[in-house]
């Protein structure tokens, strides 16, 4: 997690593995810089040991294909917090102190923030701020404490994914209002952009796990079968999505309306990332609920043209790797926006 002006430790890297420690496993993406651009070397999902087992704190041993010298780490954190704040630009007042007051967190947290310029506005600092519990951060980084890969950054997953968005489809919408909807297992994040600048960031306390549990209970299925139902499209699950995530859909519509009214714009498209985005009928359901055209986002677009090949076992699941990819890219490329 980097503050404004900070780059990757020791400068930009040429060979990085992005590691996204998530509820469904450790999503890993290894990239290498070549003369023609950034090449994809390897992709995998590693098992996540039980949090209470001794293995949870043991050194993480990566397969040879993923063994880069540096690791860009993503951690959601059970008690993490993310907010987009409009803070007054006050003389002799540290922005860090204002952020601490806004979060009002108890305990030890690792903070990171980025200031997003607002054209024509000087008395307000639009600040994207994140807080990760220090104990969870240290426990995760401890697994990389000995030998390569050396951790070079610690980032919030959905924000790390924005590095990949900026590099790819986001650049094609620099004159429009567009969004990213990242639906993970426990949380769903919405980011809305106007002219390439972040205009709204929200986190909702629900995600794919809610949908999975609803499928299991309604159809009396085990977890493996329920996951298969989600991915195959054998059953129209639109009603299940609405039931499990009704509050999320309501807030998505409110958020879109808020930005459109405040910024006098219209959101042209939502790009869908995260585990739910690979589920059949998700794209259609989100579009109907928000009134915005939706597209499942492939964050790997363009990487295999430089070198490498997306592994067959994970084809069709590219959106799951957006955070790991974005974290690696954030350590390899200079970015216009410090997300």
Tell me what the mean pLDDT of segment 262-282 comes to: 93
Quote the pLDDT of residue 51. Answer: 60
In this prediction, residue 85 carries a pLDDT of 94
The pLDDT of residue 67 is above 70: yes
Q: Which tens digit of pLDDT belongs to each residue from 178-229?
A: 999 999 999 999 999 999 999 999 999 999 999 999 999 999 999 888 888 8
Return the pLDDT at 306.
60
State the Cα–Cα distance between residues 73 and 62, nearest whole angstrom: 13
Residue position matching structure tokens 């955070």 = 323
Q: How far is CA 117 from the centre of its chain?
A: 22
Task: Give the pLDDT score at 215.
Answer: 92
CA atoms within 13 A on the CB side of 276: 30
pLDDT at 7 over 60: no
Average pLDDT over residues 167-171: 87
Would you tell me how many other CB atoms lie within 10 Å of the CB of residue 146? Answer: 9
Residue 1 has what pLDDT?
43
Residue 189 and residue 205: Cα distance in Å, rounded? 9
**Across 60-74, 217-231, 250-264, 318-332, least confident range:** 217-231
User: Quick one: how far is CA 4 from the chain centroid?
Assistant: 19
Distance of alpha carbon 156 from alpha carbon 143, whole angstroms: 17
pLDDT on residue 78: 80
Does position 70 have pLDDT exceeding 70, yes or no?
yes
Total Cβ atoms within 10 A of residue 264: 9
In the prediction, which pLDDT does 307 show? 63
Structure tokens at 163: 């590095």
**Mean of all residue pLDDT scores within the chain:** 88
Residue keyed to tokens 């009603």: 239
pTM: 0.90
Q: What is the number of other CB atoms lying within 10 angstroms of the CB of residue 51?
A: 11
Q: Are 104 and 128 in contact (CB under 8 A)?
A: no
Higher pLDDT, 156 or 226: 156
CB 323 within 8 A of CB 20: yes
Positive or negative: CA dihedral 216, 80, 182, 192? positive
SS (H, E, C) the chain: CCCCCCCCCCCCCCEEEEEEEECCEEEEEEEEEECCEEEEEEEEEECCCCCCCHHHHCCCCCCHHHCCCEEEEEECCCCCEEEEEEEECCCCCCHHHHHHHHHCCCCCEEEEEEEECCCCCCCEEEEEEEEEEHHHHHHHHHHHCCCCCEEEEEECHHHHHHHHHHHCHHHHHCCCEEEEEEECCCCEEEEEEECCEEEEEEEECCCHHHHHHHHHHHHCCCHHHHHHHHHHCCCCCHHHHHHHCHHHHHHHHHHHHHHHHHHCCCEEEEEEECHHHHCCCHHHHHHHHHCCCEEECCCCCCHHHHCCCCCHHHCCCHHHHHHHHHHHHHCCCCCCCCC
Alpha carbons 251 and 286: distance in angstroms, whole number:
12
Residue 183: exposed, middle, or buried by beta-carbon count in 10 A (0-12, 13-18, 19+)?
buried
> How much is the pLDDT for 34?
86
pLDDT tens digit sequence for 280-325: 899 999 999 999 999 999 998 877 656 667 888 898 899 999 999 9
Rounded to an integer, the average pLDDT of 153-173 is 92
Of 152, 153, 100, 106, nearest to 130 by C-alpha is: 100
- Average confidence (pLDDT) over 132-154: 91
At residue 152, the pLDDT reads: 93
**Domains parsed from the chain with CATH numbers:** 169-300 (3.30.420.40)
Residue 55's pLDDT is 52
Give the residue-averaged pLDDT of 159-175: 90
- pLDDT tens-digit readout, 79-116: 899 999 999 998 888 999 999 899 988 889 999 999 99
Which positions ≥6 away from 292 have C-beta within 8 Å?
179, 256, 267, 268, 269, 270, 286
Task: Say whether pLDDT at 50 is over 90.
Answer: no
For residue 54, the model assigns a pLDDT of 52
Mean pLDDT value of segment 223-240: 85
Cβ neighbours, 10 Å, residue 95: 18
C-alpha span between 104 and 321 (Å, rounded): 32
């Amino acid at each position: 997690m980097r503050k404004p002006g900070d780059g990757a430790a020791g400068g930009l890297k040429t060979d990085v593995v992005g590691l996204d420690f998530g509820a469904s496993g450790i999503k890993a993406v290894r990239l290498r810089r070549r003369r023609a651009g950034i090449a994809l070397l390897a992709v995998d999902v590693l098992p996540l040991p039980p949090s209470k087992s001794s293995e949870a704190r043991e050194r993480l041993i990566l397969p040879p294909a993923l063994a880069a010298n540096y690791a860009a780490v993503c951690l959601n954190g059970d008690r993490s917090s993310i907010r987009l704040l409009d803070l007054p630009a006050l003389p002799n007042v540290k922005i860090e102190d204002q952020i601490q007051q806004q979060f009002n967190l108890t305990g030890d947290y690792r903070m990171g923030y980025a200031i997003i310029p607002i054209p024509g506005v000087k008395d307000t600092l639009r600040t994207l701020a994140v807080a990760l519990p220090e104990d969870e951060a240290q426990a995760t980084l401890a697994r990389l404490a000995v030998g390569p890969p050396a951790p070079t950054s610690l980032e919030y997953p959905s924000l790390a994914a924005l590095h990949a968005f900026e590099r790819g489809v986001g650049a094609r919408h620099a004159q429009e209002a567009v969004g990213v909807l990242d639906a993970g297992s426990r949380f769903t994040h919405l980011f809305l952009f106007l002219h390439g600048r972040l205009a709204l960031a929200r986190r909702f306390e629900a995600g794919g796990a809610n949908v999975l549990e609803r499928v299991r209970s309604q159809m009396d299925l085990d977890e493996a079968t329920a996951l298969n139902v989600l991915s195959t499209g054998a059953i129209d699950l639109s009603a299940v999505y609405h039931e499990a995530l009704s509050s999320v859909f309501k807030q998505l519509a409110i958020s879109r309306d808020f930005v459109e009214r405040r910024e006098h714009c219209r959101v042209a498209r939502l790009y869908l990332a995260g585990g739910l985005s690979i589920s059949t009928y998700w794209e259609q359901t989100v579009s109907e609920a928000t009134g915005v055209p939706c597209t499942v986002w492939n964050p790997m677009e363009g990487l295999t043209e430089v070198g490498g090949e997306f592994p067959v076992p994970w084809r069709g699941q590219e959106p799951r790797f957006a955070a790991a990819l974005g974290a690696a890219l954030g350590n390899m490329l200079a970015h216009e926006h410090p997300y």
